Amino acid sequence: MKKVQFDVTGMTCSACSARVEKGVAKLEGVQEVSVNLLKGSMAVRLDENVIDTGRIIDKVVDLGYGAEVQKPVEKKQELKPLDTAKLETDAVKRRLIVSIIFAAPLFYISMGHMAGWPMPAFFHNAMVFAFTQFLLVLPVIIANGKYFQIGFKNLFRLSPNMDSLIALGSGAAVVYGIYAIYKIAWGMGSGDWDTVRSFSMNLYFESAGMILTLITLGKFFEARAKGRTSEAIVKLMNLTPKTATVLRDGAEEVIPLEGVVKGDVLIVKAGDTVPVDGMIIEGYSSVDESAITGESLPVEKHAGDRVTGGTINKTGYFKMEATAVGDETTLAKIIQLVDEATSSKAPIAKLADKVSDVFVPVVIAIALIAVVVWLLLGRGLEFALSIGISVLVISCPCALGLATPTAIMVGTGKGAAKGILIKSAEALEVAHSIDVVVLDKTGTFTEGRPRVTDIELNGIDKAELLTLAASLEKMSGHPLAEPIISEAEAHKLEMKPVEDYSLIPGQGITGVIEGKKIFAGNRKLMASSGIDIEQFTGLEEKLANEGKTPLFFARDKELIGIIAVADTIKPTSGQAISHLQGMGIEVIMLTGDNSRTAEAIGRQVGLEKVIAEVLPGDKEQEVRALQEQGEKVAMVGDGINDAPALARADVGIAIGAGTDIAIESADIVLMKSDLLDVAAAIQLSRAVMRNIRQNLFWAFIYNTIGIPIAAGLFYFAGGLLLNPMIAAAAMSFSSVSVVTNALRLRFFTPKWEKA
């Protein structure tokens, strides 16, 4: 199966997107379709052996829309998506200016006499009065011709959409106005002045003009707001520099970024943006990685460290070797990930799709029924027509189609800005309902890199103990040897030669340094070698209870000290657990470590439940067991060793992935090794879902309240009616309110950052 992204043009409401989705889904070989109205995109999972992209494009064209395969990420970066949003906004702005220029005098002429506004004498002639209004409404209709072109085309295809409602409503008003001009002319010719007065007061040209103007005004505000929803992706795309300084034949050369290939040696000076992913081979620097990881503090980089394209060299100068270019870079993968997430569809969006599928035909039916009923009740054609137009105009389902994708796009963009990469809209939705968070220990709770925590001396100074210990441990490949060697190197201690090195499985190591035998290992080694450690028995117990591993060191049968090593807990782990528990989420630590160490770490971070001595393959079974109890489970791990459990969980979260993004195994990828981001991701999900529900409320409430009023159901209870122009303003405001509400997510901040 292959997933292909398409750009779809011509969609104006959720009825359009639902029609495209349903039509493409019927094609043989298409497994899954997701259409995003906001972005004008479509994601299709297809069987290449059965169907090709050409047939899918042809189907979309047959449905009345345009389609083309999206360009790759690196090409998108060249296109500057801001330009696309600006083009759309500028086009709507031009239509709006033309509409206002002609609609304003049209409104003045048609309504001025009722408000007592001064009017030229020649407008007292009914034919001049009517025909002038007709001439003024024509430019408004021409400027907004797309509503009529698309609306009637879809109506004739028996798939009416938002444009169909606008075209029918404003078109009916114009047709009635033209009919009124003929009636005025006939009345003036036959001396029937009652007919002339009656039709002069009911032309409806101003309704048509104001409906189109107000809807275009709403579209203008909507286009501006929609442009801001993709700010996060745009900012990511703009991180990549246009050029890079490459070292070739011993000389510096500035070349376009596209010319950089793997293995090139690049020069990055202070203030420069790192062009691609790579490794520092010379120099040092302080690099600002906030745009990629969300980490505010610059990170020190030296030779051998990796750097990521799109980050900024704050100080220093270094040479780097390019290891990933083009769409292989971390930044390109992040852009692709965020782009796919904003193009996907959350399960809650299916509600809007189902409603949209039948909404427009039902509205047209309601409008026709309302017109017929009021005619049968003896009201005039003008009254019944006004009712029908109001129903059509206020019912446009723009807001319904924007309710979910706007919140998803802003939410995922905000997450990306904080180093929280959400793979799909479904993962974003499911995360809000998580009951249990299962956490791996190493690299999640802890740093994942053991270090020396305690040094206890017995008749020897610290430097000498570290020198002997590191010299002997350097012969060993044991994981606990590295932190001792690093500690000695940090103190700039020189290693001493070791003779007669010996490894004793399960106990430790021995060797001769400067003619004296050195022992390094656990209690068993000390006991088997006849070395007395009783004076440190209580300390050993205390260190073990704290989750630390004590290593004994002796010289010629005499104990000289203990060095304790532990994989230390991250500074924010306890705070993260507290926040998760405060959110009503049960937190469980799942680890392969022994029970004593695991429980010691659990106590330090305030955990109530620890499951220890679990093999990697058994973690998946533990997650499944929780799900079988009816729990919604999030699994947090490194995205590689915990892949089965991450895949099994309702939401898999890869933490500490850094530049090696575990896209395949996780639904959410955290760019920083910080457990607080797990709580932040769930809080963000809850904020997005709350925002979507608010949007759906606003989308439905206008129609729920507006349609009955527009249809005249409350006319006999106080004469309450809805003027077509007010209906147009209300419909436009519903779309603007939905998009504006979604934009509030840009100000999302985790609770602990607000304090």
Structure tokens at 408: 């998803």
Q: What is the C-alpha to C-alpha distance for residues 356 and 161, in angstroms, rounded to an integer?
A: 9
Q: Can you give 310-378 as a three-state secondary structure string?
A: CCEEEEEEEEEEEEECHHHCHHHHHHHHHHHHHHCCCCCHHHHHHHHHHHHHHHHHHHHHHHHHHHHCC
Q: How many CA atoms lie within 13 A of 411 on its CB side?
A: 36
**What is the CB-side half-sphere exposure of residue 330 using CA atoms within 13 A?**
29
- Strands of 508-641 (E only): list them: 508-513, 516-521, 549-555, 558-566, 586-590, 609-611, 633-637
- State how far the Cα of 111 lies from the Cα of 726, in Å rounded to an integer: 15
| Strands, E assignment, 47-182 | 66-69
Which residue, 626, 742, 732, 745, is CA-closest to 684?
A: 745
What is the distance between the alpha carbons of residues 273 and 106, in angstroms, rounded to a whole number? 55
- Asked whether 725 and 208 are in contact (CB, 8 A), the reply is no
What residues does 301 pair with on adjacent strands? 285
What is the 3-class SS of 459-478, one letter each residue? CCCHHHHHHHHHHHHCCCCC
**Cα separation values, 31 from 3, 50, 192, 274, 454, Å:** 10, 11, 67, 40, 59
Question: Could you tell me which of 58, 52, 735, 9 has the C-alpha nearest to residue 400?
Answer: 735
Instruction: Give the residues of the chain that fall short of pLDDT 70.
Output: 72-85, 113-116, 225-233, 294-297, 342-345, 352-353, 356-357, 396-398, 443, 593-594, 616-617, 639-641, 656-665, 754-755
E strands, 52-188, where?
66-69
**440 in active site:** yes
Calculated CA dihedral for residues 456, 458, 463, 466, nearest 10 degrees: -60
Q: How far apart are CA 239 and CA 289, in angstroms?
A: 11
109 vs 85, 126, 141, 205, 723, CA distance in Å? Answer: 36, 12, 18, 11, 18
Of 440, 567, 593, 642, catalytic: 440
Q: Is the dihedral of CA 745, 747, 752, 755 positive or negative?
A: negative
Query: What confidence tens digit (pLDDT) does each residue in 474-512 have?
Result: 887 777 788 999 899 888 899 999 999 998 887 889 999
Cα 58 from Cα 205, distance rounded (Å): 39
| Residue 362 zone, left/alpha/beta (φ > 0; ψ -120 to 50; rest) | alpha
User: 260 and 276 in contact (C-beta within 8 Å)?
Assistant: yes
Alpha carbon distance 611, 440 (integer Å): 10
Give the CA radius of gyration of the chain.
35
Residues 219/399, Cβ–Cβ less than 8 Å:
no
| Residue 636 vs residues 22, 148, 648, 651: alpha-carbon distances, Å | 36, 52, 12, 9
| Nearest Cα residue to 354 out of 407, 400, 391, 403 | 400
Would you state the pLDDT for residue 465?
Answer: 92
Of 736, 56, 734, 25, give the one whose Cα is nearest residue 396: 734
Q: Which residues contact 616 (CB under 8 A, 6 or more apart)?
A: 592, 641, 642, 644
pLDDT for res 79: 42
Q: Are the beta carbons of 439 and 638 closer than 8 angstroms?
A: no
Among 88, 206, 204, 185, smallest CA distance to 146 is for 88
pTM exceeding the 0.85 threshold for the entire prediction? no
By the 8 A CB rule, do 85 and 224 touch?
no
Note whether 422 and 654 are within 8 A (CB): no
